[in-house]
């Protein structure tokens, strides 16, 4: 529905905040924890209750899927390959990509099963699906159904705010190079403050109808920037033998966090399916989910391989920072990417603001000066991302940390838990219990990546402070 006034980045919350009272009758023991629609931020949305007024075609949904995955994580893939090696990185990237896509299919299946089983007259979103799946499972899951919903919203909020922090560091680092090229030696902290001023202006736009065209423009110039970055990076490329085939083991957790960060579009999977004219074409073998992620994987492999091969151990957390300093084309690319990331911030910011605002309204609302208080919340949340970006200026480490913590939980923990919960009663795990095996393997990978990725990211952050 991007072309009708909403953006797919914000569908995560749009599609989950408008349950009418009559839909609660179908939820059984699962309660609606959300506030009244009138208390939520202004948004153009169809909600759960009906099919979209303007459903998207296969191509439009594929476009929205790609749009949601083309972001700062792609530019960090060169650094990811540095942390795994030129031989090992592609193998692990494909493995993690397949794992993430499999779990996206798992989430879609769980949502569809719950909708059919509970005869729901709305399309469950991520948090709905987790709560409904846990509620339908054994006692251990059933007791934590509400906690599951809270955890999903918590990690979505943390992830989105983390993305916003990355964008601030990304834009500041890039503009710092641009200013230096044109002869301006601005102190980086002042640069970050100026960036924050522009960001504050963009987040005060409450209605997505006015943000969506800006987001589309941001996506277009980002895609152009990626193409030009790859073109520039292929000039005078060194031989493969000059790069490490396999990196040291203690660097792999950083690779894990970055790749999961780059793949983490699971929050948008269910809203995208709901928006389709023919939802059944979303998760077929040649559906949007598989085709879209195949294209994303090819882009990630291309940027990662070329980036590390070209710049080696000197590759930065954003490939744009490695582009030739003296080239005017490189500076144009940096300007385009910086603008693209800056204009993407308000879309990424919309979701955590909506989640936190709904909690505040439920706890202390309704408010007489609702709009004023929401503006105050927007500014405070944005300042939090600014402070975090100011404290942790290392872009590559920040990306790994966000990926290891929030992206891992959303992409690799909740889907297998939902699947286990739904299938446990009937022990419907397929031949030789292969579904159970895959779910447990996914959880082991997730826990390992979460623990090691978080630890090594924090160690690098501490070391950066010492240095």
pLDDT of residue 199: 92
User: Prior bond to 366 cis, omega within 30?
Assistant: yes
CA 457 to chain centre: 18
Task: Going residue by residue through the chain, which has 467 residues, state the pLDDT in tens, using 9 for 90 and above.
Answer: 334 434 444 444 444 444 333 433 344 444 444 333 333 333 333 334 345 667 888 888 888 788 777 777 888 899 999 999 999 999 999 999 999 999 999 999 999 999 999 988 888 888 899 999 999 999 999 999 999 999 999 998 988 898 898 889 889 988 998 998 888 888 888 999 999 999 999 888 877 667 667 777 887 888 888 899 999 999 889 999 999 999 988 889 989 988 988 887 788 788 888 888 888 888 898 999 999 999 999 999 999 999 999 999 999 888 888 988 888 899 999 998 888 888 888 878 888 888 898 889 888 878 888 889 999 999 999 999 999 888 876 777 878 888 888 889 999 999 999 999 998 887 888 888 898 999 999 999 999 989 998 888 888 888 877 76
Q: Is 75 helix (H, G, I), strand (E, B) or coil?
A: helix
d(CA 433, CA 90) in angstroms, rounded, equals 29
- Cβ contact 226:298 at 8 Å: no
CA neighbor of 203 nearest in space, from 44, 9, 353 = 353
**What phi, psi does 56 have (nearest 5°)?**
-90, 150
Q: How far is CA 6 from CA 52, 209, 351, 353, in A?
A: 12, 6, 13, 16
Instruction: Name all domains of the chain by residue range, CATH numbers in brackets.
Output: 2-466 (1.20.1740)
Phi, psi of 186 (to 5 degrees): -85, 140
Look at residue 72 and give its three-state secondary structure. helix
Task: Return the pLDDT at 5.
Answer: 39
* Dihedral sign for Cα atoms in the order 416, 418, 422, 425: positive
């Amino acid at each position: 529905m991007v072309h009708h006034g909403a953006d797919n980045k914000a569908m995560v919350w749009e599609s989950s905040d408008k349950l009418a009272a009559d839909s609660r009758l179908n939820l059984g023991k699962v309660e609606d924890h959300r506030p009244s629609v009138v208390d939520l931020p202004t948004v153009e949305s169809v909600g759960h209750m009906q099919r979209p007024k303007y459903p998207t075609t296969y191509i439009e949904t594929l476009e929205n899927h790609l749009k949601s995955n083309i972001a700062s994580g792609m530019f960090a893939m060169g650094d990811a390959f540095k942390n795994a090696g030129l031989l090992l990185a592609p193998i692990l990237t494909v493995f993690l990509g397949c794992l993430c896509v499999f779990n996206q299919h798992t989430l879609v299946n769980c949502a569809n099963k719950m909708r059919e089983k509970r005869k729901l007259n709305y399309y469950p979103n991520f948090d709905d699906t987790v709560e409904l799946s846990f509620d339908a499972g054994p006692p251990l899951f059933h007791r934590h159904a509400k906690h599951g919903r809270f955890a999903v919203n918590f990690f979505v909020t943390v992830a989105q705010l983390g993305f916003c922090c990355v964008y601030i560091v990304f834009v500041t680092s890039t503009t710092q190079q641009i200013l230096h090229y044109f002869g301006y030696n601005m102190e980086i902290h002042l640069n970050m403050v100026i960036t924050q001023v522009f960001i504050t202006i963009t987040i005060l736009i409450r209605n997505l109808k006015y943000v969506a065209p800006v987001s589309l423009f941001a996506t277009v110039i980002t895609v152009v920037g990626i193409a030009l970055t790859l073109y520039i990076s292929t000039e005078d490329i060194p031989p493969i033998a000059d790069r490490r085939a396999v990196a040291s083991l203690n660097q792999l957790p950083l690779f894990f966090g970055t790749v999961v960060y780059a793949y983490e579009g699971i929050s948008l999977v269910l809203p995208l399916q709901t928006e389709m004219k023919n939802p059944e074409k979303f998760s077929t073998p040649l559906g949007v989910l598989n085709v879209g992620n195949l294209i994303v994987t090819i882009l990630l492999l291309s940027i990662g391989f070329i980036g590390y091969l070209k710049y080696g151990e000197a590759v930065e957390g954003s490939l744009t920072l490695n582009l030739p300093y003296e080239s005017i084309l490189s500076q144009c690319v940096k300007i385009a990417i910086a603008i693209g990331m800056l204009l993407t911030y308000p879309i990424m910011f919309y979701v955590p603001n909506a989640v936190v605002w709904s909690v505040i309204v439920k706890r202390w609302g309704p408010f007489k000066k609702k709009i004023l208080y929401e503006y105050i919340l927007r500014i405070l949340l944005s300042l939090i991302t600014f402070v975090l970006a100011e404290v942790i200026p290392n872009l590559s480490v920040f990306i790994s940390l966000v990926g290891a913590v929030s992206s891992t939980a959303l992409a690799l923990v909740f889907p297998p838990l939902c699947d286990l919960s739904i299938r446990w009663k009937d022990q419907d795990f397929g031949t030789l219990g292969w579904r159970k095996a895959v779910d447990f393997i996914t959880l082991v990978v997730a826990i390992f990546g979460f623990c090691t990725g978080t630890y090594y990211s924090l160690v690098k952050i501490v070391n950066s402070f010492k240095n």
